[in-house]
Amino acid sequence: MLEIIDEGSVFSYYLQQGAKMISFMQALLRHRITLWKKALPILISLLGYAILLYLSQWFYIGFDDAYNLQLPQNLVRNGEFASNAGDEFDVVVTTGPAATLPVALSFWIFGISTLSIRLITVGFFIGSLTLFYYLLYNSNSHAAHSHRFGAILMLVLSYFALTPESLIYLYNLLGQIPAIFYFLLSLILLQRYLSHGSWKILALSGFVVGLTPHTKLTMVIAIISSLIVCALLLWHQQSPTTQRFKHFIGYILSIFLPTILYLLWQLIALGKTEFVQIQIGFWNFLTYRSPTAIQLSFGDSLLRHLELLAGLGLFRLFVLGIFLSLFYFLWNAFQERSYARLNLQLFTMGYWVWWLFVDTAYEVRHLIAGIVALLFVLVWEFFNTKKDPRLCRLLAGVLIVAILFFGKQFDGATDWKQFSRYTEQQQTFANAIQTQAPKQDIFYYGWFQSPEMAFLTQQPFYRTVSDGGLSEQAQHLMIFSDVEYNIFGFYYNYYVSSRCQKPYIFDAEHNILCSVYGNPYSEEEYLAIAEKDEEICPMIESTEIGKGKCDKQLRDGFYTHYGEERTVLGKDFATWVRVKRPSSRLILEGALPPAIDEQTVRIFIDDQLKTEVSLKADQPGFSIPIHIADYRKKRFIKIRIQSDHVINPLYYQVSDPENLPQSLIFYRLYQE
């Protein structure tokens, strides 16, 4: 018997099936769009990573960068976490193992090269941007669309594009950007703890934030802000008091775990005696480098910072606006109980308070982490605020534009060509060393580039001329820069040498190589260059060519780089000294090594013999006043020193003359 099917039922059936198919396709499309939104930031990150790696070939190795690289390089080569001088866990290297050990891993996998460094340093920067996006996404996924990650990336990169001097700090192995990476990772883990409540996640967050001071010690500010936020978080939780207390104690212990592991590594590698010496040396170094070592009152320090920061009159208002806005954002985050956001804001404020009002010796690289963190805070407030969104977006937008505008005030004049030119000079000179240098015996003096060249040439030379060991029979290479040397007889300073056309000069007769920082010039060549370049101030204003050249930017040749003291080299030395009013005399200090029985020192002023002193071996040291009252009408006088022995080129005053090299004598010349 045939069943009669209603045509309306058939139509309804297919209509239902079609609706189900459409719903399925919509769900699949939504799922794919969601996946695409999540994957797009990763693709943008990889693209930015590739672009920055490509651009890195035009950026040179920096001094601090190269010095920090000695530790991972020697760890891979020799199994010792030491500088080229052989000092394990060298306290002078202030970039910690959380930043240097990843580079050591890159060296071990890919070999020791500049690219191996940039793979890690660029990775820290791009990783920080990616972590911040997902931090923003997790806090409010509706407000954080994937296209906004591109906006964040372009915003941060635009700051560095406008201030290319800052871009070098993304490529160099410094601790600030790695610290931001670890800090943001700890904030993401803190968010995960809020959603899952697992003490393991909270402990992992504490361990990661505990790594931040092991990139740069000042990043202990991140630990302080994290402890404050964690205490607030657990205080507001509804869980039992005992459980909250256990979580907080576990968080504190996990923060100190990286430090405990690092100290344990030092103890195993060094032994008890050297371990204690390292800790004492580290403490002494901190005391020497700390703001308390600079005898300035708080008021003097604050005034000094205002002078440093006030490149424009509006800049003071900008700093004031930043702090007032941060207080407003802090209050909003506290009321909304947005703990990760609050932590980032506390860290940013603490970081800027430290460098603006506590430490008086900041440089651009110290501010980079604060600038990046501040941009992150403002972006978060712009995209993801719940209270007063219009006001927050207005404040954040204005301050973001102000940061991009005032960025040049931190770095000064910028020149993209400078990086490419200097990188080429650096590599050319490295090739010259590899070609000319006897590898077994290399000395340098006053050479700013020595760590960079040691890395680029893969020759771990570190000895200065003052270390001794020089002999006419030995095959050695002496590298000089930015010093007065008797063979050339004239001072050549940084400004001249950095603009020189010849990348290096090799003196085969004396086996001397002069770096790009120190190509020797005759007096006539020097003054001719100074006449054409307003930034170069000649030391000899008494000559016809030199008159009036020191008004715009005075560079005191004798006091350049070393403050109120300078050391000299050679048996016959001459330089030009600016006469400081109302000073009336110069002081020449020195010490005789035990091997020298007698020493005669002759001092000429303007080529006239002014003082002749005979020194005996029983004198532990000497101090010779050079009266210059008769020359106070002149701005510059020529000082010439002749001695019977080579002068010891040490930068600092020798407290123990017994430790001086046998064939050298130390001089220090300063003005009262």
> Helices 114-139 and 176-196, interaxial angle, to 10°?
30
What is the rounded distance in angstroms from the CA atom of residue 554 to the CA atom of residue 619?
38
pLDDT at position 576, please? 54
What is the rounded distance in angstroms from the CA atom of residue 365 to the CA atom of residue 525?
35
Q: How far is CA 523 from the centre of its chain?
A: 35
What is the rounded distance in angstroms from the CA atom of residue 231 to the CA atom of residue 206?
13
- Per run of 10 residues, the mean pLDDT along the chain (length 672 residues) is 51 61 59 62 80 81 85 89 79 87 94 91 89 79 54 66 68 89 93 83 92 90 90 75 81 92 90 83 65 43 51 58 78 79 89 76 73 84 71 76 62 56 70 61 53 77 48 46 30 32 40 38 44 37 37 29 33 54 56 59 77 68 63 61 52 32 38 46
pLDDT at position 396, please? 75
Is 344 in contact with 187 (CB distance < 8 Å)?
Answer: yes
29, amino acid identity? L
Q: Are strands 477-480 and 598-605 parallel, antiparallel or unpaired?
A: unpaired
pLDDT at position 18, please? 62
Q: Which residues pair with 614 in a beta bridge?
A: 600
CA distances from 426 to 493, 496, 513, 550 (A): 18, 16, 14, 30
What is the rounded distance in angstroms from the CA atom of residue 642 to the CA atom of residue 656?
24
Burial of 567 per CB tally in 10 Å (0-12, 13-18, 19+): buried
- Peptide bond preceding 582: is omega within 30 degrees of 0, i.e. cis? yes
pLDDT at position 134, please? 82
Q: At a CB cut-off of 8 Å and minimum separation 6, what does 136 contact?
A: 143, 144, 148, 152, 379, 380, 383, 384
Angle at 444 between CA 443 and CA 449, to 5 degrees: 135
Of 508, 324, 500, 342, whose CA–CA distance to 421 is shortest? 500
Of 116, 99, 115, 94, whose CA–CA distance to 107 is shortest? 116
What is the rounded distance in angstroms from the CA atom of residue 302 to the CA atom of residue 358?
8
Is 535 in contact with 445 (CB distance < 8 Å)?
Answer: no
Of 562, 587, 563, whose CA–CA distance to 639 is shortest? 587
Of 352, 366, 338, 339, whose CA–CA distance to 399 is shortest? 352
135, amino acid identity? L
pLDDT at position 26, please? 58
DSSP states of 322-381: HHHHHHHHHHHHHHHT-HHHHHHHHHHHHHHHIIIII-S---HHHHHHHHHHHHHHHHHH
Question: Three-class SS of residue 174?
Answer: coil
Q: At a CB cut-off of 8 Å and minimum separation 6, what does 178 contact?
A: 98, 99, 102, 124, 215
432, amino acid identity? A
Q: At a CB cut-off of 8 Å and minimum separation 6, what does 284 contact?
A: none
Of 362, 392, 365, 367, whose CA–CA distance to 377 is shortest? 392
pLDDT at position 372, please? 84
